[in-house]
Amino acid sequence: MNKQQLFEQIQSKKSFLCIGLDPVLDKLPKHLLKYEDPILEFNKQLIDATHDLCVAYKPNTAFYETRGVKGWDTLVKTWKHIPKDIFTIADAKRGDIGNTSAMYAEAFFKEESSEMSFDSVTVAPYMGKDSVTPFLAYQDKWVILLALTSNEGSQDFQAKQSGNQKLFEQVITTSQQWADSNQMMYVVGATKPEEFQNIRNLAPNNFLLVPGIGAQGGSLSAVCEHGLNNQCGLLINAGRSVIYASNGEDFAEKAREEALALQQEMEQILKAANLI
Ligand SMILES: O=C(O)c1cc(=O)[nH]c(=O)n1[C@@H]1O[C@H](COP(=O)(O)O)[C@@H](O)[C@H]1O
């Protein structure tokens, strides 16, 4: 999916919500345990209940890899169940020497190889240009580069001064020479709303993937105050607060209610910014 198509989805759904599909077997509603693949059933019912309210789904691969071959199969089947007009993010946080990154890119982008073709993959910038560029070889596929993450540990390296910039600022500035805003997004945690003005100055046209609202305590309105751009420019991820809204038989209905509340707040924000 290209940037214009993503913006059109945002305008037509009046939403820039991304739902994080990070399922844990122990947290699943008990009635799903009778299914052969309870996690797949959980994901399918969540997708069926929310796909008109969000523009993206983000399965974090850790939650699938932990179950070995079975988990990877669930990931493939989950990807296949997501409607094709929805932006998909493989949250895998990959990045390695060039030929290895090329294999990672194939794993997430090349359907003929892996039976999956996500629109994007999250990538760690630490190994530099040649670890990132192999992911850029696919048309209309995206790198979502970790810039300023939502966790406490982001202070350990990302926020450290490096020359006249902080390290995460350098990541944003330097990586813009590798790809433009049609292929590069940045991860910026919602737990750092005070940084959005600065980040928008460094990356005015890039989409930002913003995790950290809901379970991690970040605020949607605080992020939007300086985070929006003229094509919205934000994908706000909510995981646990949506998918575990209830652990009863009504889990999908309750997940929908949570997603709807976020979508309605987003609609007001988009209207106030004259984007719809
Ligand atoms: O890359 C990410 O998506 C990510 C980056 C970051 O800085 N913080 C962060 O929480 N994430 C991911 O976003 C999701 C957050 O989910 P919830 O906290 O349940 O909404 C998890 O899949 C995290 O791995």
- Encode pLDDT of 112-128 as tens digits: 999 999 999 999 999 99
Distance 150 CA to ligand 1 centre (A): 7
Distance 211 CA to ligand 1 centre (A): 5
Given a cut of 90, whether residue 252 has pLDDT beyond it is: yes
18 compared with 218, residue with greater pLDDT: 18
Angle, alpha carbons 77-80-83 (nearest 5°): 140
In single-letter form, the type of residue at position 88 comes to: T
Closest atom of ligand 1 to 60 CA is 22
Mean pLDDT in residue range 36-65: 98
Does the annotation count 192 as an active-site position? no
Distance 88 CA to ligand 1 centre (A): 15
Q: Which of 89, 83, 133 is nearest to 109 (CA)?
A: 89
CATH numbers and ranges of domains, the chain: 3-272 (3.20.20.70)
Q: What is the mean pLDDT of the chain?
A: 97
Closest atom of ligand 1 to 93 CA is 1
Distance 184 CA to ligand 1 centre (A): 18
| Spatial contact of 7 and 232, defined as CB atoms under 8 Å apart | yes
Closest atom of ligand 1 to 243 CA is 19
Given a cut of 90, whether residue 214 has pLDDT beyond it is: no
- Encode pLDDT of 56-89 as tens digits: 999 999 999 999 999 999 999 999 999 999 999 9
State the Cα–Cα distance between residues 179 and 245, nearest whole angstrom.
38
Mean pLDDT in residue range 223-252: 96
- Encode pLDDT of 141-170 as tens digits: 999 999 999 999 999 999 999 899 999 999
Name the residue of 54, 60, 78 whose CB sits within 8 Å of the most ligand 1 atoms, as the mutation to test its pocket.
60
In this prediction, the answer to ipTM > 0.85 reads: yes
Ligand 1 and 59: CB distance under 6 A: no
The 10 Å Cβ neighbour count of residue 97 is: 12
159 burial level (CB within 10 Å; 0-12, 13-18, 19+): middle
